Structure 1
Amino acid sequence: MFLEAALALLALSLSLLCRPWRMLGSRPGPGGMQDPVLSPLLTPLFASLVLLPWVWALPALHQMPLQLHWSGAPLVVLLIGWPLAVPVLLAVGAIAFALAPALDVSEALGMVVWQGLVPATLAMLWGAAMRRWCWHNIFVFILLRGFFGTVLCLFVASLLGQWAGHVLPNINEDLSRMARWLMAWADGVTTGMLTAVFVVFRPRWVATWSDAIYLQPPRSPEN
C-alpha cells in the first residue's frame, strides 16, 4: 500500500505543477471576450466521472471466476491530457470505492494506481514518443496511439501491478498474464474505435489532437 500511495502522491504533485485547471477556463467566443465559451474538454471530463466509476467498481459488485477489468485511462489521457487526467482518475477511484462496499482502502488505491495512473502515465510517454519519432498522420494517431498504444500500456501496467502483488483471484501466474493480455486488447479496441469517432466528429473533445500537426498537406516532391 505504501508504494501505491507514493505513486499516487507523486503523480498528483506533478500534474498540479502543470496547472491543469487552465485547460478548463472559458475561451473567447464568436463575439470576442464579451461572449466566452466553456472549454469543450468539460464534456469528456464529466463523462469520465460518470461512466468510469461504474466500470471500475463492476468486478467488486458481482462474483465471477475471472474478474474482468476495463481501465479507460489511456482514453482519458487522449481526451483531456495527462495533467488533467490524473486528478480525474483519482476522483474516479474515490467514486468507485463509494459504489463498491466490498472494496477496502488498499484494493481501491491499488486499482487507482495500476488500473488508472500507471497506464495513463505510460500512455502519455508513448504519445510523446510517437509525436517525436513517428510521422504525423491521422491513421498513425488512431492506430498507434489510440489502439496499439493502449494495448501495450495497459498490458505493461497490469504486469507491474501483478509484480506489486495485485493478482487475479483463483488464477495461476501464466494464465493471469494471458488474461491480462486479452483484457488489454479489449480496452485497445474500444479506445481505438472511440478515438477514431471523436477525431472525425468531435476533435475539440480530444486534447492531444491537433489539425495543424496531424492533417498537414502532403509535401510536393522536390525538383
Structure 2
Amino acid sequence: MLTNLTLATLALLAALLFRPWQLLTGGTRLTPLLATLTLVPWLWAMPSLHKMPLQLQGSAACLVVLMLGWPLAVPVLCVVGVMAALISPMSWNTALDLTVWLGLIPATLALAMGAAVRRWIGLHLFVYVLVRAFLGTAVCVFVAGVLAQWMGHSMPGIDDNLSLVAHWLIAWGDAFMTGMLTVLMVAFKPDWLATWSDKLYLKK
C-alpha cells in the first residue's frame, strides 16, 4: 500500500505542477472529462460488482490521456478510483491499487510513448491512430500489467503465467476500444482530443 500511495502522490504532484485546470479553459475538455467520470468508474468497478472467476478489468487510461492530456488525466483518474470504490464493494486499498496500476502507470507510459512516437516516427494521421492510439495502448497497458505482477499485484487465484496471457488479452481489448474511439473523434470531434492538432497531423 505504501508503494502505491507514494506513486500516486508523486504522479499527482507532478501533474499539478503543470496547472492542469488551465486545460479546461474554453470548455473543449469538459465533455471528455465528464464522460470519463461517468463511464470509467463503472469499467473499473465491474469485476467487484459481478463475481467472475477471472478478474479482468479494462483500463481506458491511454484514451483518457489522448483526450485530456497527461496533466489533467492524472487527477481525473484519481477521482475515478475514488468513484469506483464508492459504487462498488471494493476496499480502499483495492481502489488505490487500481488507480495506480490500471490508471496512473498506463497513463504515464502513454505519455512517454507519445513523446517517443513524435520524436522518432513523426507527425502523421496514420501514425497517431495506428501507432499511438492502437498499438501504443496495447503496449502501455500490457507493460503496466506486467509491472504490477512483478510488484506482487497478481490476479487472485490465477497462475502467474496465465496472468500474463490475461494481461495481454486485456491490453488488446483496450487497444481496440481506444483506437476505434480515437478514429471517431479525429473524424467528428477532434476538439475532444487534447493531443490532436489538425495543423500538425493534417499539415494544414
* TM-score by shorter chain over 0.5: yes
Q: 1:96 matched to which residue of 2?
A: 84
Q: 1:31 matched to which residue of 2?
A: none
* Code of the aligned partner of 2:158: I
RMSD of equivalent CA atoms = 0.9
- Is the radius of gyration larger for structure 1 or structure 2? 1
Identity %: 53
* Code of the aligned partner of 2:15: S
Name the CA distance, whole Å, in 2 between partners of 1:123 and 1:131: 12
Question: 1:159-197 CA distances to partner (integer Å, 9 max, x unpaired)?
Answer: 111112211122101111011100100000000000010
Deviation of 1:73 (Å): 0.2
Q: Does 1:41 align with 2:18?
A: no
Q: Does 1:63 align with 2:63?
A: no
Which of the pair is proportionally richer in helix?
2
Runs of 4+ residues deviating >2 angstroms: none
Q: 1:14 matched to which residue of 2?
A: 14
Q: Does 1:154 align with 2:154?
A: no
Name the CA distance, whole Å, in 2 between partners of 1:48 and 1:15: 18
Q: Which runs of 5+ in 1 are unaligned?
A: 27-38, 218-223
Q: 1:122 matched to which residue of 2?
A: 109
Superposition TM-score, scaled by structure 1 size: 0.90
Deviation of 1:130 (Å): 0.7
Name the CA distance, whole Å, in 2 between partners of 1:25 and 1:215: 24
* Code of the aligned partner of 1:10: L
Instruction: For residue 174 of structure 1, give the secondary structure of its aligned residue in structure 2.
Output: helix
Name the CA distance, whole Å, in 2 between partners of 1:82 and 1:159: 21
Deviation of 1:100 (Å): 1.0
Question: 1:8-43 CA distances to partner (integer Å, 9 max, x unpaired)?
Answer: 0000000000001111123xxxxxxxxxxxx21100
* Code of the aligned partner of 1:167: S
Deviation of 1:135 (Å): 2.4
Q: 1:177 matched to which residue of 2?
A: 164
Q: How many pairs were matched up?
A: 204
Instruction: For residue 144 of structure 2, give the secondary structure of its aligned residue in structure 1.
Output: helix
